[in-house]
């Protein structure tokens, strides 16, 4: 999904590829020419059918394919629960739920329903519908026994009150528990209890939904988010709670049941109990060896606090000796490089904003926000993330292969530019392509190739690209009137396998509507950068052979052998989910939460959506 942009790095490769494929190199005209025309001559073989006659486009060919946008999130409006259908005489036994067994309080419940005639309870539309459906089929109390809330209700109220420990907002689930007052008449007490019954059921259903699926629908936020619905049988939730005393166990089981979720909860609790950072380092610090700054001792103090046994053995002595120095002594450079590499940076020994951020970190408030966002995002994913799995964390610029709780492979990755963002979704790995073709996305054909094709329609023929019509028939690029098309091009374009191919030697596919996959790249220098949002949206891997070997369950040597035999495809026979994820706070395999820059500014957009949801829920009673 990428094109290359470094002509000095790719030019020799492209020329070598031309020679290898028996083509003649031309004079350098920039990388775009080398990839899309002029640099590699290609003569199509065989007879081609004529291209279809195009219709002239009224816009003069200036149309573009735009990237997804971010929407102002609009939460579902609450509706008043309509209790009217519960008020008439109870339905005949045949209409009741088959699992319903009337209790001694059943008649008391029916008598109490009159107390709902003027009750204003607001809930989400699906919850309001589920309440009426459940109590129509099961006319009895869940949360009340006799003239008081029962132990089941007490457990539920406690769980709802602990919502903050999951990064949720307790006010969203607040329920007024009827006080025990001798002054209340029996009629008043009955009205209080039946209203409490309905309110608690409504808030328990909201809690169960939020715990399982999150408070917002991520797909409403932007086209960059793509998650399947996580259906929840709301009536089934109430049925379960009506027949169990393990209310806490059941409600807590609605949350994701994976170590990452638990690690984020522990981090949130720790942050909320902690003091604000007492050591504050200038976030704009830029310090090179030999230079002086009063900020350096602060940074060295933070390093000393987090020394593990290995780094302590290597650098403990020099840190103890120079830890209070304001001069960046050359002896400290190996220590700084080691710290940088441990944080995923390239380790150049220059202390800059990224180094400071990795050591001094964000403020307590910023970290809490990142963890709350991460908890919400994790609720969009399956509760069990699966093993083995591939996990790509875009803000960390890494891709990992995880099996049986162990990170067997972790490699640097390049993700989409801010203007070509990588989507957030999950799928399943299907196949590995060796020496792949690159099917050029329509957005690149329209936005980047088409302007050149209008004046030079044959350059794709010369550059080793194949053009095909909607039936798959090959057509010479030179025979197409490219100027007749706007944003809808009735042709496909693909680049042949070569050393200059934008996908390099390997492609790992997990079919999805975003046309995103993992692949190799000729632009190896990109992996030396700390900020690696540089592609057209796909995931470039520093170690594609290692990842291919992992998902195919073989060795890197076997992958190298397969690559000797040209283009081929091998299916992945195991179930391996892949998460193309976006977490600015994420635990490593030991449970330590790491923090990353919000390269696409998605956290603030998610917070806006959460604020909108809280505002929509505010008038609820």
**Torsion sign (Cα): 576, 577, 581, 586:** negative
Strands 491-495 and 438-439: antiparallel
Identify which has the larger pLDDT, 358 or 348.
348
For residues 30 and 37, give the distance between their C-alpha atoms in angstroms, rounded to a whole number. Answer: 10
- Give me the DSSP letters along 519-588: E--S-GGGGGSS--EEESSSEEES-HHHHHHHHHTS-HHHHHHHHTT-SEEEE--S--EEEEE--SEEE-
pLDDT in the model for residue 543? 98
For residues 427 and 382, give the distance between their C-alpha atoms in angstroms, rounded to a whole number. Answer: 11
For residues 520 and 390, give the distance between their C-alpha atoms in angstroms, rounded to a whole number. Answer: 16
Query: What pLDDT, in 10s, does the model give residues 596-608?
Result: 999 999 999 999 9
Whether 206 shows a pLDDT value over 90: the answer reads yes
Contact 418, 600 (CB under 8 A): yes
What values do phi and psi take at 519, rounded to 5?
-160, 170
The token pair at 28 is 């350098």
pLDDT in the model for residue 61? 52
For residues 116 and 149, give the distance between their C-alpha atoms in angstroms, rounded to a whole number. Answer: 17
Query: What's this model's pTM, rounded to 2 decimal places?
Result: 0.80
For residues 279 and 364, give the distance between their C-alpha atoms in angstroms, rounded to a whole number. Answer: 12
- Mean pLDDT, residues 308-335 taken together: 87
For residues 154 and 177, give the distance between their C-alpha atoms in angstroms, rounded to a whole number. Answer: 9
Whether 614 shows a pLDDT value over 80: the answer reads yes
- Domain chopping of the chain, boundaries: 79-256, 296-360, 385-437+500-584, 439-495
Alpha-carbon distance values, 157 to 140, 177, 219 (Å): 19, 8, 31
For residues 95 and 114, give the distance between their C-alpha atoms in angstroms, rounded to a whole number. Answer: 21
Rg of the chain in Å (alpha carbons): 31
**Torsion sign (Cα): 200, 206, 209, 213:** negative
Query: How long a stretch of residues is the chain?
Result: 621
CATH of 385-437+500-584 given 3.90.1260.10, 2.60.40.10, 2.40.440.10, 3.30.450.40 = 2.40.440.10
pLDDT in the model for residue 95? 52
pLDDT in the model for residue 88? 57
């Amino acid at each position: 999904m990428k094109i290359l942009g470094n002509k000095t790095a790719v030019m020799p490769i492209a020329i070598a590829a031309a020679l290898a494929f028996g083509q003649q190199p031309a004079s350098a005209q920039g990388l775009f020419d080398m990839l899309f025309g002029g640099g590699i001559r290609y003569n199509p073989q065989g007879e081609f059918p004529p291209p279809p006659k195009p219709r002239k486009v009224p816009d003069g060919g200036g149309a573009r394919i735009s990237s997804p946008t971010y929407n102002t999130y609009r939460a579902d409006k609450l509706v008043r629960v309509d209790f009217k259908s519960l008020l008439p005489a109870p339905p005949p036994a045949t209409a009741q739920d088959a699992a319903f067994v009337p209790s001694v309080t059943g008649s008391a419940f029916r008598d109490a329903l009159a107390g709902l005639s003027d009750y204003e309870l607001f809930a989400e539309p699906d919850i309001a519908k589920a309440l009426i459906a459940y109590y129509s089929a099961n006319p009895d109390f869940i949360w009340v026994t006799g003239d008081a809330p029962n132990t089941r209700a007490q457990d539920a109220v406690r769980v709802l009150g602990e919502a903050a420990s999951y990064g949720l907002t307790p006010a969203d689930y607040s329920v007024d528990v009827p006080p025990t007052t001798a002054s209340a008449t029996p009629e008043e007490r009955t009205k209080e209890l039946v209203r409490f019954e309905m309110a608690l059921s409504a808030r328990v259903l909201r809690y169960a939904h939020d715990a399982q699926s999150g408070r917002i629908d991520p797909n409403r936020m932007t086209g960059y988010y793509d998650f399947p619905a996580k259906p929840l049988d709301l009536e089934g939730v109430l049925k379960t709670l009506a027949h169990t005393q393990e209310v806490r166990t059941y409600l807590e089981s609605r949350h994701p049941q994976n170590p990452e979720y638990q690690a984020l909860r522990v981090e949130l609790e720790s942050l909320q109990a902690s003091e604000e950072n007492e050591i504050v380092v200038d976030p704009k610090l830029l310090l090179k060896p030999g230079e002086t700054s009063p900020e350096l001792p602060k940074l060295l103090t933070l390093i000393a606090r987090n020394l593990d046994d290995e780094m302590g053995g290597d650098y403990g002595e020099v840190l103890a000796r120079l830890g209070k120095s304001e001069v960046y002594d050359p002896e400290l450079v190996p220590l700084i490089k080691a710290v940088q590499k441990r944080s995923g940076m390239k380790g150049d020994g220059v202390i800059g904003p990224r180094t400071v951020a990795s050591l001094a970190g964000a403020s307590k408030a910023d970290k809490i926000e990142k963890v709350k966002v991460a908890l919400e995002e994790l609720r969009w994913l399956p509760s069990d993330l699966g093993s083995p799995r591939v996990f790509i964390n875009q803000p960390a610029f890494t891709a990992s292969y995880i099996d049986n709780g162990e990170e067997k492979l972790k490699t640097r990755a390049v993700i989409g530019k801010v203007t070509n963002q990588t989507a957030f979704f999950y799928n399943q790995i299907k196949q590995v392509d060796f020496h792949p073709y690159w099917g050029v996305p329509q957005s690149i054909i329209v936005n980047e190739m088409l302007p050149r094709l209008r004046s030079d329609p044959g350059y794709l023929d010369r550059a080793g690209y194949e053009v095909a019509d909607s039936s798959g028939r090959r057509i010479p690029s030179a025979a197409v009137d490219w100027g007749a098309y706007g944003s809808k091009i009735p042709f496909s374009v693909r680049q042949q396998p070569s050393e200059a191919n934008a996908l390099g030697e390997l492609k790992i596919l997990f079919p999805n509507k975003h046309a995103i996959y993992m692949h190799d790249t000729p632009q190896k220098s990109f992996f030396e950068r700390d900020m690696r949002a540089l592609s057209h949206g796909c995931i470039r891997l520093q170690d594609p052979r290692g990842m291919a070997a992992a998902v195919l369950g073989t060795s890197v040597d076997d992958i190298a052998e397969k690559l000797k035999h040209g283009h081929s495809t091998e299916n992945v026979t195991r179930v391996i989910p892949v998460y193309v994820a976006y977490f600015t706070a994420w635990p490593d395999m030991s449970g330590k939460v790491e923090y990353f820059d919000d390269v696409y500014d998605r956290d603030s957009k998610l917070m806006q959506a959460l604020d909108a949801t809280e505002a929509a829920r505010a008038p609820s009673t």
